Amino acid sequence: MTDLFEGATGIIDEALTYASVSEDTVERLKHPQSALAVSIPVRMDDGSLRTFRGYRVRYNDARGPAKGGIRFHPDVTIEEVQTLAFWMTIKCAVVDIPYGGGKGGVTVQPKDLSMAELERLSRGFIDGIADAIGPDIDIPAPDVYTNAMIMGWMMDEYAIIKRAKTPAVITGKPLSLGGSLGRDTATADGGFFITQTLAPKILGDASGPRTAAVQGFGNAGMTMAELLHDAGWTVVAVSDSKGGIHAPEGLHIPSVAKVKRESRALRGVYCEGSVCETVDHKVITNEELLALDVDLLVPAALENAITEDNAADVKARMIVELANGPITPEADEALYQRGITVIPDVLANAGGVTVSYFEWVQNRQGYAWTAQQVRDRLQDRMVEQAMGVWERSGGGHNMSLRVTAYALALERIGAAVDATGHKETFQGR
Ligand code: GLU
């Protein structure tokens, strides 16, 4: 197994020091329940046939059906999907929603495909994994480089296979197909609610606007930058996979977001159009962004952004992990030793799966909630669970927020595992 999975599950041992959990639970969490690998033959627009590899891992469903997104990315491997499925198991327990964890992925550069090829690939993936998913089994959703339109195709394909409309099989759908209001901004909304709750405790009283840098300008990162900007933060830098822009006095995020939405790349704002005219900025690399002297750093791209090689360069006082796994275990330890508070992914980005849960509930009720209902329920849950972790960790002084979140999750998963009997139940009987 790869370092990513070993690194991810390695924290279980540390969290066990602070949690009372049966041996059975630990044993169950060491291995994925099932890992399905499929080949997806896709007819390309030029008439040729190309085969893509896809995966769906159900890591653990002790607390309910598995839940987790589908990623389309050239670097997808089964080990990565398995690790992401493990994180989903922990994440759903941290915010106390009645799900286990799963994840899917297809190894593909989606930017190289036409829309029609992308649709055939999305439908072909569902054809391959249809027996392994379902509203009471395992419920996919969007992840890196997948979106509402792709979820719509996938839901439609599942309906064709089952000969029944089954909206609750997948979340993050378009509104017109049973999606939930607020799902598209939910990951950032959740991270923002937690940031606003914990920033005064971590950073102390602000004498002026606080500064932030956001690495990754996709759905989560861009929305987070907008929310921070609107709340009076000075967002000094943002970046995407091609590089970043930096302005010490603050970027005008609404303009950057507008250009990004239109051009699909930050490159488009480098020296043309409105942003350059309103804000004097310079081009920086992702590495330079991670090393900026800011109050808040938000990694919102992919795994392994902060490693033992660059952790010492980080100057932020607080990090909110909107991406999954952006900090390696070695870097995490180094940051903790330096007193930098990390709000871990399994808490910080759990707003997405929380509103996915709300979407699934609405689908099963056949009754749509208002945007305000979704927002209020998301805020209540995120703030309550974040405060629970914060207090249990002694404000991050007794143990890191990550270890605390894992301890809490292990206890919740353990309660479900043990409810069907554990070692002591059966010993000597
Ligand atoms: N892909 C998102 C995550 O990593 C959302 C998963 C979901 O909504 O099921 O949390």
Residue 141 near residue 356 (C-beta atoms within 8 A): yes
Q: What does the pLDDT read at residue 93?
A: 98
Distance (Å, rounded) from C-alpha 290 to C-alpha 190? 22
Residue 353 alpha carbon, nearest atom of ligand 1: 8
Q: What does the pLDDT read at residue 241?
A: 86
Give residue 350 CA to ligand 1 midpoint distance, Å: 7
Give residue 88 CA to ligand 1 midpoint distance, Å: 7
**Residue 8, beta-bridge partner list:** none
Max Cα–Cα distance, the chain, nearest Å = 78
Q: What does the pLDDT read at residue 276?
A: 45
Residue 291 near residue 315 (C-beta atoms within 8 A): yes
The pLDDT confidence band at residue 429, using thresholds 50, 70 and 90, is low
Identity of residue 147: N
Q: Is 68 in the pocket of ligand 1 (CB under 6 A)?
A: yes
Q: Is 352 in the pocket of ligand 1 (CB under 6 A)?
A: yes
Distance (Å, rounded) from C-alpha 271 to C-alpha 240? 16
From 404, 187, 199, select the one nearest 316 (Cα to Cα). Answer: 199
Active site residues: 103
pTM of the model: 0.94
Per-residue b or e along 264-284, where b marks 16 or more CB atoms closer than 10 Å to that residue's CB: eebbbbbeeeebeeebebebb
Q: What does the pLDDT read at residue 265?
A: 64
For 308-363, what is each residue's pLDDT tens digit? 999 999 999 999 999 999 999 999 999 999 999 999 999 999 999 999 999 999 99
Pocket test for ligand 1, best of 145, 302, 356 (most atoms within 8 A of CB): 356
Q: What angle do CA 60, 140, 242 make, to 5 degrees?
A: 110
Distance (Å, rounded) from C-alpha 233 to C-alpha 210? 5
Residue 177 near residue 166 (C-beta atoms within 8 A): no
Dihedrals φ, ψ of 394, to 5°? Answer: 65, 45
For 24-76, what is each residue's pLDDT tens digit? 999 999 999 999 999 999 999 999 999 999 999 999 999 999 999 999 999 99
What angle do helix axes 115-129 and 148-162 make, rounded to 10 degrees?
A: 50
* Across 75-83, average pLDDT: 97
* Across 252-280, average pLDDT: 67
Q: What single-letter DSSP state applies at residue 134?
A: B
Q: Report which protein residue has its CA nearest ligand 1's atom 9.
A: 68
* Across 355-381, average pLDDT: 98
Residue 91 alpha carbon, nearest atom of ligand 1: 10
Per-residue b or e along 102-127, where b marks 16 or more CB atoms closer than 10 Å to that residue's CB: bbbbbbbebeebeeebbbbbbbbbbe
Give residue 263 CA to ligand 1 midpoint distance, Å: 26
180 pLDDT more than 50:
yes
For 124-146, what is each residue's pLDDT tens digit? 999 999 999 999 999 999 999 99
Strand residues in 350-420 grouped as ranges (E): none
Q: What does the pLDDT read at residue 423?
A: 78
* Across 198-217, average pLDDT: 93
Q: What does the pLDDT read at residue 278?
A: 47
| Mean pLDDT, the chain, whole residue set | 94
Give residue 80 CA to ligand 1 midpoint distance, Å: 14
Give residue 139 CA to ligand 1 midpoint distance, Å: 10
Domains of the chain in start order, with CATH, are 3-168 (3.40.50.10860), 186-339 (3.40.50.720)
Pocket test for ligand 1, best of 347, 353, 361 (most atoms within 8 A of CB): 353
The pLDDT confidence band at residue 275, using thresholds 50, 70 and 90, is very low
Q: If phi over 0 gives left and psi between -120 and 50 gives alpha, with beta otherwise, what is residue 232? A: left
Distance (Å, rounded) from C-alpha 412 to C-alpha 235? 37
